[in-house]
Chain A
């Protein structure tokens, strides 16, 4: 129940950020999505047995499932590498790289176009 709630919060935040404007917010959303995915992996092993998977012999009745943990571990590192890559993408190119230089349709709320302005507000 608690694990499901944590995943729900993470997924909701991730989806909101991923659909927002600006590459950095999308990257933040991606990081949250990675967290959520890792928790889902661990949830797949079950949350009732929580003993550390170190030592020998281990009691399968109380020890956590080690396989999802191994998946989660590599997933964390890969998500990290992709996060770095996405963050670097946010700071290369610059405003000239903006392929959609259309003005913000909301007058008065215009900000100077940032380099991570990879998108414009789509006109309705």
Chain B
């Protein structure tokens, strides 16, 4: 229960934090700090890191569980996260102004939970999630630091999320290769030794993830960049906790990867490079906070290089240095924050002699700085000694150890030099501003505890030795040997190296003006932030260029590629299909009467393609459509034939309403384009020919087709097999199609609502003022009389189709189209827009129809499933009442609503949106042509 309690308690604090921040204001830090630090001390004192674990199923289908495990490494990092977190939160109480700080405290404690989860996770998926939690918390914490913070928060996020992707890739590779997501099982897998490609891949991915989080070259730019954040955030996330997530990750995988050469080389080379580079940059900075940021980059580099050595000695050195660094760097950040808070600046050039006005701060800074510089008897001295010793004894060729150690010494010299810059520049020397006051005791106390810890733990290193040993055991490949922590190592190489670094460092401090002059120039041609910005701009520009390929209003630019792709597929198909085509069977499937239909289709298509008049094109298209209806009839598809027939009537009616508003003729187009289109057309036609030939040659009916023919009547009671498929067997498909239909109808309404219709063309008829042709009412007399008789009949027919659809040709689709045709006829016979409009509530019909379908489908739950057909057993006038009939009523409403929506809005004669319609009966003179044309084609 220890682990759930630990994480649960921290999560509870995180949940309470926003509330406390609102109620208590800045003082909310005290209870939160007490909570976190209390948990940390409890973990240190009372919980042995015995590898206890807890496991709760999380994503059982993926085999992922929410697993936590407490070993030495996890315990050490958890203690650091909790104790430093406590100190930082306590410090925040005086750093911030009075007022609510709900966001800050909420995010900071949430971040602690994320870190805690990361270091305790025993499942790589949980680890990844927690890793991202810390990234996201960091983003929000930086971005809330004012307008400058947002840009640098975005840059930080880009880098760390990139690293998160690398970790994701590593997690996927590990799960795929080892078959488990349990971290301890993965680490124990024999694959690491037996499969070098796997180990190298995962090792490099994890290294990249850690490098982004721990600000290693070339990803180091974000850390100094994020220094716009408030000091507590910088101290916690960017000095002591989040940047250590990368270190934790490296240590966690060190047992598995410690003997992979690519891992060793990458970590040592990048780490040492970053250590020296970061120290040089730090020496160049005059903003103390920025200086500390680069110092962090440098120290993390040293840690990465040490971990890369992979020996037990190195890992224990890295563990000790992690502790030492968290203590002195956290303290330094916060103390510089105190200076900034009290003196109003952190520019080293504007500060001097603070030791007189701020004695306690100065004492803390001196302690932390000496630990950072590795001066005895502080903890930093012990860790530096151990690192140098580990480097000197590095495995591999003989020159590696001394070289690495000398580079580390160079970094140490530079560290001493910038330490001198901090101390001599700001705290010693003449007093510049005597008005600067020391911070309040409550402000300083949490920080001084951290600074003093470095001093106590030097001589008193025994206190943390068990914890450090346990952590090193977990991090090293071979869990043997002791991690001795001592101040006096004897006369060994690392003592000389350490002494040399201190002496050289002191010399550098003495001649610091010359060093400053030497470094007062750009060391690299560019900066990491600049490179990141360029990369980002480049990525955006590249995306734009890719988008340009399809950024065109020209419809052809969008249609040609898929068409050509289909033609290309067809060419492939020609090669693959032609040998398999059973020509004899395909020919046998044809009938003599088909020839007439083929000729009609061919002539019709040719007509649509060649005519220049739009009206003629629509008329010829009607010929093709009616031929299609005959085709369906010839193939035994009576229902489809009926549907096609009705759709054709309505298509022509709608097309004519539209064409009134467009030029009479099609646009001319260039010959080259016509030829290109014709070539594509011939290619596509040939491909289609061969494809269909292969289909029609198939012998026999498909098993599913035979099943429907056999079972339709016994299962549903309907003898119209197509209709039973639509409303009984595959009603869910039909329902989906209805939604598409309804959406199309609503889309038409929306388009006509937001965009104005183009005005109708003026007819070229010259009608004398007193000619009888001017009076539409009179002219429409024949249509009107016909319609008066036909419209009710058609509506009756439509209802007839609806109720008999289950057994005979008809059904909801055909019934609705018939009914709609009745309204079209009525509109055509009308002498004005107002009179012609159906006034059917189109939207309500679409919505109501869908609702009817859903309700009839829900009734199916009575028999166990959505849309399961039910029969009431009652029969009225020979029509049996079933849920399928109700479903068909829904179909009827949706189809009619969708079509009527367009017809009404386009208006038989309207030249403007319906509400602005000013036509009057009896005077409209523009309707004759269209009325006649639509009537003629529609019949």
A residues in contact (CB < 8 Å) with B: 1-26, 28, 31-32, 35-36, 38-40, 42-58, 60-61, 63-70, 72-74, 76-78, 80-85, 87-94, 97, 99-100, 105-106, 109, 111-112, 114-122, 124
Provide the residues of chain A in CB contact with B585, threshold 8 Å: 48
- Interface residue ranges of B746-801 to A (CB < 8 Å): 747-748, 751-752, 755-758
Nearest 9 A/B pairs, CB to CB: A12-B685, A64-B636, A2-B594, A13-B605, A56-B713, A65-B705, A92-B755, A8-B689, A81-B744
Q: A63-B701, A94-B756 are in contact. List 7 more A-B contacts (CB 8 A).
A: A46-B695, A46-B696, A50-B591, A54-B807, A54-B809, A91-B662, A100-B553
Assess A40 versus B692: contact at CB under 8 Å? Given A65-B705, A66-B721, A100-B554.
yes
| Chain A CB within 8 A of B700 CB | yes
- Say whether B813 contacts A74, CB under 8 Å: yes
Q: What's the Cα separation between A124 and B677 when bound, in Å?
A: 15
- Interface residue ranges of B556-592 to A (CB < 8 Å): 556, 559-560, 563, 583, 585-591
> Would you give 26 A-B contacts (Cβ < 8 Å), ordered by A?
A1-B587, A1-B590, A8-B689, A8-B692, A9-B598, A17-B608, A19-B556, A19-B563, A23-B555, A24-B662, A35-B625, A36-B688, A46-B698, A48-B696, A52-B638, A60-B710, A66-B709, A69-B639, A73-B726, A76-B647, A80-B899, A88-B658, A88-B752, A90-B658, A112-B663, A124-B672
Assess A4 versus B663: contact at CB under 8 Å? Given A13-B608, A67-B704, A81-B741.
no
Could you give, for residues 718-744 of chain B, a 1 whenever the CB lies within 8 Å of some chain A CB and a 0 otherwise? Answer: 011110011000100110010011001
From A7, A14, A47, A120, name the one whose CB has the most chain B CB atoms within 10 angstroms: A47
The residue of chain B having its C-beta at the shortest distance from the C-beta of A112 within the complex is: B663
- Say whether A46 contacts B701, CB under 8 Å: yes
- Say whether B631 contacts A72, CB under 8 Å: no
Task: For the complex formed, measure the closest distance between the CB of B611 and the CB atoms of chain A, giving whole angstroms.
Answer: 10
B701 touches which of A65, A80, A88 (Cβ 8 Å): A65
Task: For the complex formed, measure the closest distance between the CB of B817 and the CB atoms of chain A, giving whole angstroms.
Answer: 8
A54 touches which of B651, B721, B817, B902 (Cβ 8 Å): B721
Q: What's the Cα separation between A86 and B920 when bound, in Å?
A: 30
Q: What's the Cα separation between A78 and B74 when bound, in Å?
A: 61
- Say whether B559 contacts A6, CB under 8 Å: no
| Chain A CB within 8 A of B177 CB | no
The residue of chain A having its C-beta at the shortest distance from the C-beta of B607 within the complex is: A13
- Say whether B692 contacts A4, CB under 8 Å: yes
- Say whether A81 contacts B555, CB under 8 Å: no
Task: For the complex formed, measure the closest distance between the CB of B714 and the CB atoms of chain A, giving whole angstroms.
Answer: 8
| Chain A CB within 8 A of B595 CB | yes
- Interface residue ranges of B581-634 to A (CB < 8 Å): 583, 585-591, 594-595, 597-598, 601-602, 605-606, 608-609, 614, 617-618, 621, 624-625, 628, 631-632, 634
Q: What's the Cα separation between A59 and B42 when bound, in Å?
A: 82
- Say whether A13 contacts B590, CB under 8 Å: no
Provide the residues of chain A in CB contact with B643, threshold 8 Å: 73, 76-77
Q: What's the Cα separation between A39 and B618 when bound, in Å?
A: 21
- Say whether B621 contacts A31, CB under 8 Å: yes
Could you give, for residues 871-886 of chain B, a 1 whenever the CB lies within 8 Å of some chain A CB and a 0 otherwise? Answer: 0000000000000000
- Interface residue ranges of B377-402 to A (CB < 8 Å): none
Q: What's the Cα separation between A23 and B636 when bound, in Å?
A: 35
- Say whether B605 contacts A66, CB under 8 Å: no
The residue of chain A having its C-beta at the shortest distance from the C-beta of B709 within the complex is: A58
Assess A3 versus B590: contact at CB under 8 Å? Given A40-B695, A92-B752.
yes
Assess A35 versus B702: contact at CB under 8 Å? Given A74-B733, A111-B668.
no
A24 touches which of B554, B583, B588, B659 (Cβ 8 Å): B659
Q: What's the Cα separation between A120 and B898 when bound, in Å?
A: 32
The residue of chain B having its C-beta at the shortest distance from the C-beta of A99 within the complex is: B553
- Interface majority SS (helix, strand, loop, mixed), chain A: helix
Assess A22 versus B667: contact at CB under 8 Å? Given A8-B689, A31-B651.
yes
| Chain A CB within 8 A of B684 CB | yes
- Say whether A53 contacts B692, CB under 8 Å: no
- Say whether A9 contacts B695, CB under 8 Å: no
The residue of chain A having its C-beta at the shortest distance from the C-beta of B760 within the complex is: A91
Assess A25 versus B756: contact at CB under 8 Å? Given A78-B740, A124-B672.
no
Assess A43 versus B695: contact at CB under 8 Å? Given A13-B606, A115-B662.
yes
- Say whether A16 contacts B692, CB under 8 Å: no
Assess A67 versus B651: contact at CB under 8 Å? Given A26-B559, A94-B756, A111-B668.
no
Task: For the complex formed, measure the closest distance between the CB of A37 and the CB atoms of chain B, giving whole angstroms.
Answer: 10
| Chain A CB within 8 A of B644 CB | yes
Q: What's the Cα separation between A74 and B687 when bound, in Å?
A: 25
Task: For the complex formed, measure the closest distance between the CB of A49 and the CB atoms of chain B, giving whole angstroms.
Answer: 6
- Say whether A16 contacts B609, CB under 8 Å: yes
Q: What's the Cα separation between A75 and B670 when bound, in Å?
A: 34
Provide the residues of chain A in CB contact with B706, threshold 8 Å: 60
Provide the residues of chain B in CB contact with A81, threshold 8 Å: 740-741, 744-745, 898-899
Task: For the complex formed, measure the closest distance between the CB of B754 and the CB atoms of chain A, giving whole angstroms.
Answer: 8
- Say whether A118 contacts B554, CB under 8 Å: yes
- Interface residue ranges of B890-937 to A (CB < 8 Å): 895, 898-899, 902, 905-906
Task: For the complex formed, measure the closest distance between the CB of A64 and the CB atoms of chain B, giving whole angstroms.
Answer: 3
| Chain A CB within 8 A of B708 CB | yes
Provide the residues of chain A in CB contact with B682, threshold 8 Å: 12
| Chain A CB within 8 A of B455 CB | no
The residue of chain B having its C-beta at the shortest distance from the C-beta of A42 within the complex is: B635
- Say whether A73 contacts B640, CB under 8 Å: yes
The residue of chain A having its C-beta at the shortest distance from the C-beta of B603 within the complex is: A9
Could you give, for residues 105-149 of chain B, a 1 whenever the CB lies within 8 Å of some chain A CB and a 0 otherwise? Answer: 000000000000000000000000000000000000000000000
The residue of chain B having its C-beta at the shortest distance from the C-beta of A77 within the complex is: B813
Assess A67 versus B696: contact at CB under 8 Å? Given A2-B594, A77-B643, A91-B661.
no
Provide the residues of chain A in CB contact with B811, threshold 8 Å: 73
Assess A38 versus B628: contact at CB under 8 Å? Given A32-B608, A54-B719.
yes
- Say whether B756 contacts A39, CB under 8 Å: no
Task: For the complex formed, measure the closest distance between the CB of A52 and the CB atoms of chain B, giving whole angstroms.
Answer: 5
Task: For the complex formed, measure the closest distance between the CB of A53 and the CB atoms of chain B, giving whole angstroms.
Answer: 4
| Chain A CB within 8 A of B676 CB | yes
| Chain A CB within 8 A of B482 CB | no
Provide the residues of chain A in CB contact with B684, threshold 8 Å: 11-12, 14-15
| Chain A CB within 8 A of B167 CB | no
| Chain A CB within 8 A of B197 CB | no
Provide the residues of chain A in CB contact with B624, threshold 8 Å: 10, 32, 35
Q: What's the Cα separation between A94 and B698 when bound, in Å?
A: 50
The residue of chain A having its C-beta at the shortest distance from the C-beta of B811 within the complex is: A73
Provide the residues of chain A in CB contact with B635, threshold 8 Å: 3, 42, 47, 50, 64
- Say whether A69 contacts B696, CB under 8 Å: no
- Say whether B588 contacts A48, CB under 8 Å: yes
Assess A28 versus B722: contact at CB under 8 Å? Given A84-B744, A84-B899, A99-B553.
no
A43 touches which of B647, B670, B696, B809 (Cβ 8 Å): B696
Task: For the complex formed, measure the closest distance between the CB of B522 and the CB atoms of chain A, giving whole angstroms.
Answer: 48
A67 touches which of B591, B597, B708, B734 (Cβ 8 Å): B708
Provide the residues of chain B in CB contact with A14, threshold 8 Å: 681, 684
| Chain A CB within 8 A of B506 CB | no
Provide the residues of chain A in CB contact with B647, threshold 8 Å: 76-77, 80
Assess A106 versus B726: contact at CB under 8 Å? Given A10-B605, A50-B636, A94-B756.
no
